[in-house]
Structure 1
Amino acid sequence: MRAALLSGLGLSLLLAGLPALAASVTLPHDDAMPVDLYNQRQDKPEQVLFEIQEYRVVVASEQRPGAAAGSTQANGFLLLQGRTLLPGSPVQRAEVRFVASGAALPPARLDARRQTLMLVYPESLLPVLLQQLNSPGAEYVQARFYGNGLVWGDIHSAPQTPQP
């Protein structure tokens, strides 16, 4: 009886520990992720990861046919392109659009037709991103799409050592 109780207790402890084991999924560039305070990153996400090799800044305006006079829209965006760091991943491009600060930001998404990651950031971050892209060292684009709906998208640099 005691052996059965201990065996049952051991099995219960093992099963209780399985979610913790599942939460320890590690992926390339985990070091660019903040701490998962709400324990939302439990499964292995679909990941996009590439090293930026070139970028373009585009500033454009558009007037749609039949639209009211004065309804021209203008915006700016970055086109990032590079080489994937994940075997089998076709995504090697990102389009980064900028919206007015305080506007709602849609989550990162994949445009499967163009094999392009779409990111949206506040326009106040454009100078920061340009400075980052022009600084020495490698730059990366990453996105993670978790099964529970959590979406993460970033542009990050390789670890840097400050110059004295």
Structure 2
Amino acid sequence: MANTLGLPHDQYMPDDLYAARQDKPDQMLFEVDSYRLTLGTEYRPNALPSPQSAGVWVFVQGRSLIAGSPVHQARIAFVDAGSKARPARLEPDTQTLLIEYPVAHMQTLMRLLDGDAPAFVQARFYGNGTIWADVHGGD
């Protein structure tokens, strides 16, 4: 059964199969106005296990749809197949939402951001430690 708390964008939430989303969460929600794609590489001498790393990030910005919420941007990182994505989290200094997805989802995300319908970024942090984060299209 989907979340029935009556929060904005509840209709985009999947069913709560494990009844983990019962309390009212801290919700961040913004409509995407712009984004930029970054491909980066870094070399760190003497670093272990590997001195070389590379990555792909999408930075999205917009306007918050939650009154009083300072969160209006997110950095979406992509992890390689076989790597585990970390839970969404909020970077307190910049009020940036950090989300990780498998790299296989990058093409879908780019299609959503480039589409005609508005795109939204949402995160919900529940008191029991459950975290939900998504990027979705809608009206």
Shared fold (TM-score, shorter chain, > 0.5): yes
The answer to whether structure 1 residue 101 and structure 2 residue 78 are counterparts is: no
Shift of 1:66: 4.1
Give percent identity, aligned residues only.
44
Aligned to 1:53: 33
Separation (CA, whole Å) in 2 of partners of 1:71 and 1:148: 37
* Bigger proportion of residues as strand: 2
CA offsets, 1:113-147, max 9 Å, x none? 01100000000111111111111010000000000
Deviation at 1:65, TM superposition (A): 3.9
Max radius of gyration: which structure?
1
RMSD of the TM alignment (CA)?
1.5
Query: Structure 2: which 5+ residue stretches go unaligned?
Result: none
Alignment partner, residue 115 of structure 2: 135
* Higher helix proportion (structure 1 or 2): 1
Greater RCO (Cα-Cα under 8 Å, separation 6 or more): 2
* Counterpart code for 1:132: L
1:1-164 alignment, distance < 5 Å: 24-67=4-47, 71-158=51-138
Aligned length: 136
Runs of 4+ in 1 over 2 A off after TM superposition: 65-68
Task: Give the alignment's TM-score, normalised by structure 2.
Answer: 0.92
Q: Structure 1, unaligned stretches of length 5 or more?
A: 1-22, 160-164
**Matched residue type, 2:88:** A
SS of residue paired to 2:107: helix
